[in-house]
A and B are shown apart, each in its own frame.
Chain A
Amino acid sequence: MLDKLLKIDRRIIFSIIGIVVIIAILFPMGLVVHVSEPVEKIYREIESLSPDSYVFLSFDYDPASMAELDPLALAVIRHCFRKDLKIVSLGLWPQGVLLGQANLEIAAEEYGKEYGIDFANLGYKTGGIVVISGISTNLRDIFPQDYIGNNVDSLPMLDGINNLDPFKLIITFSAGDPGVRHWVMIAQARYGKKIGLGSTAVQAPAFYPYLQANQLVGLAGGMKGAAEYEQLIKIPGLATAGMDAQSLAHLVIVLFIIFGNVIFLLKKRSSSS
């Protein structure tokens, strides 16, 4: 019996988790999402900016990380537009450019913002760290055109913007390399820029040391971080909606871990006796 329990078919576990997630999505319970300090720090940093300040957003992810980073990107963009901040963006990952643009357009429509005046998307350039280094000194050298081929000189909001100096805050939505590590290495370490991080959950623990060393102004990890940010701006979105499913799925996994360990100990005891 104990042997059977120790060797539960993994498909049963997958099925239970799948069913729990579907039920939680179909019948939301509205579990409370507590805001953590690292996420609140990003919020406070944006709150402290005066209208018409420039913020730089870097969409360094692809569709594989959409579920985690898209809700956060949208929440941050909404916050920036609500504060009348100017957004310039790029993608160190090629597919991040259009994912970011989609979020910019959603929020722009909500807040009546116009491309070229309130926000601009520079697009993608290969090179990662070299791109960051390049735009830190001469943005137009690296990006003479925006993501759809417009000359950057034709975008009014980029008048007089030649490097990263005017940007009060840089936020990277990062799913790996190139990403936050390179922004910190160049923009923060070399040019003293403030960097905020929206990270996939997988790599978030690796960057808490950056936060502790003040190399990041704030960190929002995974869908949970996005849900916290949605709470802060008081616009619940996909991440908040997903938190019930997330919490219940975690509960099921915790129960399975406890169950597995208890059965293992019982088997060990019975075999030794």
Chain B
Amino acid sequence: MVQIIGIWVASLLTLCIFSFLYKDNPFYKFAEHLFVGVSAGYWAMYSWYNILVPNLGRPLFIEHEFILVIPLILGILMLLRLFPKVGWLSRWPLAFIVGMTSGYYLVTFLQTNALEQARATIIPLNHINNIILIIGVLTGLLYFFFSTRHKGGIGFAARIGRMFLMVAFGASFGYTVMARISLLIGRMYFLLGEWLHII
């Protein structure tokens, strides 16, 4: 019985959201506000029971891992943003997060997204795909080289680079369309199958 109610609620809310395709309306607004409210409640409870209690509360207050006093203080400082007079203190934990994340990412990000990618372009020109790849990389980089006018040979190469970029954007757009249609198909299967039982 609970499952049937759940399916009906999910189906009606899906239709409320779909109604926006016609125009903005109270049903859509209702579903939208409900979603925001439920999400906020869900995340508040989830964060408490799955993040704060197991990672901070239990280890600090039951297992006495006192080193965790430091993140506790940083967390409290972060909340001071809510009080304008002492809000500046929230910059300290923020600085810690920015510094830690930068340090953590710098080397690995450079390695995986720059060095490895550059290395993958050092390939023999014995196959049409490899040749296209090299031309695409070089002309694409040239398109973003702004220290000289894009005229003559450089202009021609930059135009080819722009064509490669357009192909990439087109592929990306095609994939995006596919993703959105997939979501529609998923919802349709739910409505026609689990709700209406006609498939």
Give a binary string over A232-273; 1 marks a CB under 8 Å from any B CB, 0 the rest.
000000100110011001100100000000000000000000
- Contact check, B181 vs A250: say whether CB atoms are below 8 A apart: yes
Looking at chain A's contact residues, is the secondary structure mostly helix, strand, loop, or mixed?
helix
Kindly state the separation between the CA atoms of A202 and B31 in the bound complex, as whole angstroms: 25
Whether B108 is near chain A, meaning CB under 8 Å from some CB there, is yes
| Shortest Cβ gap from A252 to chain B (Å) | 10
Whether A200 is near chain B, meaning CB under 8 Å from some CB there, is yes
Whether A137 is near chain B, meaning CB under 8 Å from some CB there, is no
Kindly state the separation between the CA atoms of A26 and B182 in the bound complex, as whole angstroms: 16
Interchain CB contact (< 8 A) of A215 among B51, B116, B175: B116
- With contacts A26-B192, A185-B112, A209-B120 known, is A67 near B21, CB below 8 A? no
Kindly state the separation between the CA atoms of A253 and B189 in the bound complex, as whole angstroms: 21
Kindly state the separation between the CA atoms of A124 and B55 in the bound complex, as whole angstroms: 12
| Shortest Cβ gap from A90 to chain B (Å) | 13
- Contact check, A245 vs B188: say whether CB atoms are below 8 A apart: yes
- Contact check, B21 vs A14: say whether CB atoms are below 8 A apart: yes
Chain B residues, CB < 8 A from A212: 120, 133
- With contacts A190-B108, A223-B178 known, is A67 near B171, CB below 8 A? no
Interface residues of A in 174-217 (CB under 8 A from B): 181, 184-186, 188-190, 200-202, 204-206, 209-210, 212-215
- Contact check, A205 vs B172: say whether CB atoms are below 8 A apart: yes
- Contact check, A213 vs B116: say whether CB atoms are below 8 A apart: yes
Chain B residues, CB < 8 A from A33: none
Kindly state the separation between the CA atoms of A118 and B108 in the bound complex, as whole angstroms: 33
Whether A36 is near chain B, meaning CB under 8 Å from some CB there, is no
Residue among B104, B171, B175, B199 having the largest count of chain A Cβ atoms under 10 Å: B175
- Contact check, B199 vs A201: say whether CB atoms are below 8 A apart: no
Whether A66 is near chain B, meaning CB under 8 Å from some CB there, is yes
Whether A100 is near chain B, meaning CB under 8 Å from some CB there, is no
Give a binary string over B49-82; 1 marks a CB under 8 Å from any A CB, 0 the rest.
0110011000000000000000000000000000
Chain A residues, CB < 8 A from B25: none
- Contact check, B179 vs A200: say whether CB atoms are below 8 A apart: yes
- Contact check, A223 vs B21: say whether CB atoms are below 8 A apart: no
- Contact check, A242 vs B116: say whether CB atoms are below 8 A apart: no
- Contact check, A126 vs B120: say whether CB atoms are below 8 A apart: no
Kindly state the separation between the CA atoms of A22 and B179 in the bound complex, as whole angstroms: 17
Whether B22 is near chain A, meaning CB under 8 Å from some CB there, is yes
Kindly state the separation between the CA atoms of A210 and B55 in the bound complex, as whole angstroms: 33
- Contact check, A25 vs B183: say whether CB atoms are below 8 A apart: no
| Shortest Cβ gap from B2 to chain A (Å) | 17
Chain B residues, CB < 8 A from A94: 46, 50
Whether B9 is near chain A, meaning CB under 8 Å from some CB there, is no
Looking at chain B's contact residues, is the secondary structure mostly helix, strand, loop, or mixed?
helix
- Contact check, A202 vs B176: say whether CB atoms are below 8 A apart: yes
The size class of the interface chain A forms with chain B is 35 or more
Kindly state the separation between the CA atoms of A129 and B112 in the bound complex, as whole angstroms: 14
- Contact check, B175 vs A214: say whether CB atoms are below 8 A apart: no
Whether B30 is near chain A, meaning CB under 8 Å from some CB there, is no
Interchain CB contact (< 8 A) of B178 among A18, A125, A213, A250: A250
Whether B94 is near chain A, meaning CB under 8 Å from some CB there, is no
Interchain CB contact (< 8 A) of B51 among A11, A67, A126, A184: A126
Interchain CB contact (< 8 A) of A25 among B120, B133, B199: B199
- Contact check, B112 vs A18: say whether CB atoms are below 8 A apart: no
Whether A68 is near chain B, meaning CB under 8 Å from some CB there, is yes
Task: Given A25-B189, A68-B186, A215-B116, output 15 extra A-B contacts at Cβ < 8 Å.
Answer: A11-B21, A17-B181, A18-B184, A25-B185, A67-B189, A68-B179, A185-B111, A202-B179, A205-B168, A205-B172, A213-B120, A214-B120, A245-B181, A249-B184, A250-B178
A-B contacts, 21 of them at CB < 8 A, read A17-B184, A21-B181, A21-B185, A22-B192, A25-B199, A26-B198, A67-B185, A67-B186, A94-B50, A190-B108, A201-B175, A201-B176, A201-B178, A201-B182, A202-B179, A205-B175, A209-B120, A222-B175, A246-B185, A249-B185, A253-B177
> Which 9 residue pairs are nearest across A and B when measured between Cβ atoms?
A67-B186, A213-B120, A201-B179, A223-B182, A185-B108, A242-B185, A201-B178, A202-B179, A201-B175
